[in-house]
Amino acid sequence: MLRDYAICGGTFDPVHYGHLLLAECAREQLGLERVVFVPAAQGPHKDAAPRAAAEHRLAMLRAAVEGNPAFEVSDCELRRGGVSYTIETVLLMRRRYGGAPVVLIGADNLNELDTWRRIGELARLVRFAYAPRPGSPTPRAAPVPGLRHVELAMPAFAVSSTLLRERAARGQSLRYLTPPHVISYIARHELYQPA
């Protein structure tokens, strides 16, 4: 059983230093024992399917967190398939680890929480921690009654998976945007090439 832990979900298509920095800031500031990264099969708020296949996104994420004993990767949403909903993952993690996890999100997600599946129930089960995202609107007041959330202090780091995919498609360097193992994996498997 884990005492204090967080869930960091997303498509991770691909994972980048912004994801890892958010997780490390949360671990440090909230005194977390573990951060569990959970790649989504299909994000409920994404119109298109992920560009990289699930096995590639999972492998890149595992390579990115390697060496950090406070980080782990769960493939529970990939194994479940279909649209990935946070409430289902939270219920699974509570059975597995106990306690009330923290869910890590970007500030842009905080403004959309009222659209999340079973958000009333989710708000009772977890706390949310968010980081400001350069270029995103300032979060408004909590959109869900009873929502517990905290803002994390995090250095501004304007990087996104979209940026990495675009740079990879143009043959540009991904250095300093994602870990070297991820860069090697993308090159070896020729991911994110022009269609």
- For the chain, which residues make up each domain, given as ranges? 5-188
Specify the pLDDT at position 106. Answer: 85
Sorting pLDDT into bands at 50, 70 and 90, what band is 36?
Answer: very high
pLDDT tens by residue, 106-162: 888 888 898 999 999 999 999 999 988 766 666 665 668 888 999 999 988 889 999
Give mean pLDDT, residues 168-177: 96
Residue 73 has pLDDT above 70, yes or no: yes
pLDDT > 70? residue 173: yes
114 contacts 134 by C-beta, under 8 angstroms: no
Tell me what the mean pLDDT of segment 74-98 comes to. Answer: 95
**Percent of the chain whose pLDDT exceeds 70:** 92
In this prediction, residue 50 carries a pLDDT of 85
Q: Give bridge partners of residue 130 from the DSSP assignment.
A: 105, 151
3-34 pLDDT, tens digit per residue, is: 799 999 999 999 999 999 999 999 999 999 99
Peptide bond into 14 cis (omega under 30): yes
The pLDDT confidence band at residue 177, using thresholds 50, 70 and 90, is: very high
CATH topology of domain 5-188: Rossmann fold (3.40.50)
pLDDT at 47: 65
> Looking at the predicted structure, is the pLDDT value of residue 76 above 90?
yes
